[in-house]
């Protein structure tokens, strides 16, 4: 056995062991009945949600909210990040509060969005935007602040305008860190939108999870959570691949 297969076996063993323990506890009446439904039942419920097409409109809603929020987050994050990165004075003033805010639970702002934007899509977009903003702005700021000063001096010495300096010097040298921030950002944007849906909504992945929870359709709830995780993993994978591709070009 080599270095790769052995850990893989342990991983598979762990997942399998987890499933066995799950089934045993579920059967044992140790917990209140129905709390840990059989995995077969969960997978069946997940399959039903996919096969009947039940999940897709909700998936679309979540995707719409998260991506709209993510676009806003990227735009604001990159703009503010470059502004702060290029200007040490502004950076010294605003970077500490941004770092502090980044570590607070953004979902707490959700009731404000609900009040101002209503209970439909817009409030979830705002959640996604606020959640995704921080990793993007932080990464962009750091990248823009650490640009080789000589590049900028050279650009100035050859008479580049500030727009040219921005597009020819700043942008190319910070593209990779920006994308790293965006990869983190899209994940938290997604979670932000779903958390919003879990609290107040009438559509989306978070909505069907909380609906199943409220009506104690536990297998369906696990199924929806499973599919949501799958969706998040796919988004993450795609972003990772895009990033790897960009690395090759950079």
Partner 1 sequence: MESWREKTLRWTFVAVVLGAIEAVVRLDLVDRIFLTAPSLIAAGAWKSFLSGELLGLFLTTVYEVAVAFAIAVVIGLPGGYLLWRQPLLGRAYDELLGALFASPLILLYPISLVIFGRGTNAIIAMGLVTGAIPIVLNTHQGLRDVNPTYIKVGKSMRLSERQIMRYVLFPGASPMILGGLKLGLTYTLISVIALEFLVEIGGIGTLASRGYFWFNTEELYLGVAGAILLSMIFIYLLGKAGTRLFSS
Per CB under 8 A, residues contacting partner 1 are 3, 6-8, 10-11, 14, 31, 35-36, 89, 92-94, 96-97, 100-101, 103-105, 107-112, 114-116, 187, 190-191, 194-195, 198-199, 206, 209-210, 213, 218, 221-222, 225, 228-229, 232-233, 236
**Smallest gap, in angstroms, from Cβ of residue 214 to partner 1?**
10
Q: Please, which residue, 154 or 233, has the CB nearer to partner 1?
A: 233
**Smallest gap, in angstroms, from Cβ of residue 97 to partner 1?**
7
Q: How far apart are CA 218 and CA 35, in angstroms?
A: 7
Evaluate whether 73 touches 132 at the Cβ level (below 8 Å). Answer: yes
**Smallest gap, in angstroms, from Cβ of residue 216 to partner 1?**
8
Q: Please, which residue, 42 or 174, has the CB nearer to partner 1?
A: 42
Cβ atoms within 10 Å of 156's Cβ, excluding its own: 13
Q: Please, which residue, 170 or 231, has the CB nearer to partner 1?
A: 231
**Smallest gap, in angstroms, from Cβ of residue 198 to partner 1?**
6
**Smallest gap, in angstroms, from Cβ of residue 170 to partner 1?**
23
Q: Please, which residue, 174 or 212, has the CB nearer to partner 1?
A: 212
Q: How far apart are CA 19 and CA 21, in angstroms?
A: 5
Q: Please, which residue, 21 or 116, has the CB nearer to partner 1?
A: 116
Q: Please, which residue, 155 or 194, has the CB nearer to partner 1?
A: 194
Cβ-Cβ contacts under 8 Å for 35 (sequence gap 6 or more): 26, 218
**Smallest gap, in angstroms, from Cβ of residue 94 to partner 1?**
7
Q: Please, which residue, 56 or 229, has the CB nearer to partner 1?
A: 229
Following DSSP, what letter does each residue of the chain receive, concatenated? --TTHHHHHHHHHHHHHHHHHHHHHHHTTSSPTTSS--HHHHHHHHHHHHHTS-HHHHHHHHHHHHHHHHHHHHHHHHHHHHHHHH-HHHHHHHHHHHHHHHTS-GGGGHHHHHHHH-SSHHHHHHHHHHHHHHHHHHHHHHHHHTS-HHHHHHHHHTT--HHHHIIIIIHHHHHHHHHHHHHHHHHHHHHHHHHHHHHS-SSSHHHHHHHHHHTT-HHHHHHHHHHHHHHHHHHHHHHHHHHHHHHHH-
**Smallest gap, in angstroms, from Cβ of residue 22 to partner 1?**
11
């Amino acid at each position: 056995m080599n270095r790769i297969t052995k850990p893989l076996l342990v991983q598979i063993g762990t997942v399998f062991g987890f499933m066995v323990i799950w089934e045993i506890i579920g059967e044992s009446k140790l917990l209140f009945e129905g709390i840990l439904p059989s995995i077969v039942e969960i997978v069946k419920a997940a399959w039903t949600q996919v096969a009947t097409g039940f999940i897709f409109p909700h998936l679309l809603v979540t995707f719409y909210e998260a991506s709209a929020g993510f676009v806003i987050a990227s735009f604001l994050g990159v703009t503010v990040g470059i502004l702060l990165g290029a200007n040490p004075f502004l950076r010294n003033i605003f970077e500490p509060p941004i770092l502090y805010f980044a570590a607070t639970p953004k979902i707490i702002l959700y009731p404000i969005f609900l009040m101002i934007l209503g209970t439909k899509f817009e409030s979830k977009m705002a959640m996604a935007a606020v959640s995704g903003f921080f990793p993007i702005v932080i990464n962009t700021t750091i990248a823009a602040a650490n640009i080789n000063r000589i590049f900028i001096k050279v650009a100035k010495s050859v008479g580049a305008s500030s727009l040219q300096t921005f597009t020819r010097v700043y942008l190319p040298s910070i593209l990779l860190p920006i994308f790293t921030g965006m990869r983190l950002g899209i994940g938290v944007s997604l979670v932000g939108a779903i958390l919003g849906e879990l609290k107040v909504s009438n559509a989306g992945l978070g909505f069907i999870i909380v609906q199943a929870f409220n009506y104690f359709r536990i297998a369906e709830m696990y199924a929806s959570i499973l599919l949501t995780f799958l969706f998040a993993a796919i988004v993450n994978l795609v972003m990772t691949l895009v990033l790897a591709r960009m690395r090759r070009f950079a």
